[in-house]
Homo-oligomer: A and B are copies of this chain.
Amino acid sequence: MNTVALKCSQIADAIGAELRGDAEILITSISSVETALEGSITFITGKKFLAPLRATQASAVILPNAFAHETTATRLVMENPYLGYAKLTQLWSAHLFGTTTEHIHATATVAESATLAEGVAVAAQAVIEPNALIGANVVVGSGAYIGEGVTIGVGTVLHPNSTVLRGCSIGDHCEIHSGAVIGADGFGFAPSSDGWQKIHQLGTVTIGNRVSIGACTTVDRGALEDTVISDGVILDNHIQVAHNVHIGRNTAIAGCTGIAGSTIIGANCRIGGAVSIVGHINICDDVLITANSFVNRSVLAPGSYSSGFPLETSAQWRKNAVRLQRLDELSRQVGKLKP
């Protein structure tokens, strides 16, 4: 790792901000507005950061025009400072870590019939099976597994110990984090007098471009047709996507959420953490579901949806929980009372 020192002018150029103040100041760290020191750059996104902005010791601040007069630090003015911050982290990361250079490690196992475009890096102990097609500048981390006939698009990164199984296809500029498993068999079994008979899962997983799959997230292959993750989808860690689920463009799903089989989720949805979504339902575009909800039915209109029992002291919860189990009775009782 290197240390990073960038001029304010370089940063402003990279993030598309208008620079006001000293363009030559060297920035050596990125910090929150409260903890920033000399040499730091920070960003503010709204009014609630005004007081810390006035007090900050940051050398530079990414901020909207409306707040540009509130500080004597160098200002990088832009409409969306949070996006500016995102672009800054990308610039920083490139300087801090450099870029992975093309290299097939001696301990990697790459099948002869696999096709690797230029610039592909394959780290130690990684495995690429026959007939895989690996796009330009793909990075295959240590211990990652790429199955037979898998297709990986340009610039995609597979982190160490991730797994992409037979026949799946992943688009350009995706990230598959460590421990993720793409293309395990869907949970399909037919009951019989001899117990459960496996339904072999003959579909695959199709993942679009600019998709992020979190650590230990699983996306199962389809039964006959494919499981589909559209362009721009971001999935956090520990998510379960069952067979034949479809997730629409730019939908974001937070950690520990499970989606049962054949459910269709629209575009631009935001689904909180630890949500459980039953199978064979539809969730339309532009739906927000708050954390810990139980999605037990289709959601056919955009908007915000919730469920869940808020936290209480255990003593209070015990009393309420007992009453909850008699709620139907209570309601009937109330119905009989005279108004």
Contact = CB atoms under 8 A, between A and B. Distances in A.
Interface of A: 1, 30-32, 35, 80, 82-83, 85-87, 89-90, 92-93, 96-97, 105, 107, 109, 123-125, 127, 129, 131, 141-143, 145, 147-149, 159-161, 163, 165-167, 175, 177-179, 181, 184-185, 187-192, 195-202, 210, 212, 214-216, 218, 220, 223-225, 231-232, 234, 236-238, 240, 242, 249-250, 252, 254-256, 258, 260, 273-274, 276, 278, 288-297, 299, 303-328, 330-331, 333-334, 336-339
Contacts of A201: 89
B314 A324 contact: no
A291 B276 contact: yes
A195 B210 contact: yes
Nearest to A105: B109
Contacts of A315: 304
Shortest Cβ-Cβ A-B pairs, 7 listed: A274-B276, A184-B215, A89-B200, A93-B200, A86-B190, A306-B317, A256-B258
A329 to B, nearest CB: 9
A93 to B, nearest CB: 4
A89 B188 CA distance: 11
B145 A145 contact: no
A163 B159 CA distance: 10
8 contacts: A178-B181, A179-B184, A218-B238, A276-B291, A292-B294, A303-B314, A305-B313, A306-B312
A136 B28 CA distance: 34
Nearest to A256: B258
Given A184-B215, A276-B292, 9 more contacts: A82-B190, A85-B199, A86-B190, A87-B197, A237-B242, A260-B273, A307-B308, A323-B330, A337-B337
A199 B297 CA distance: 34
A327 B334 contact: no
Contacts of A124: 109, 127
Most buried by B among A31, A220, A309, A312: A309
Given A143-B127, A145-B142, A296 B305 contact: no
Nearest to A96: B202
Contacts of A96: 202
B237 A218 contact: yes
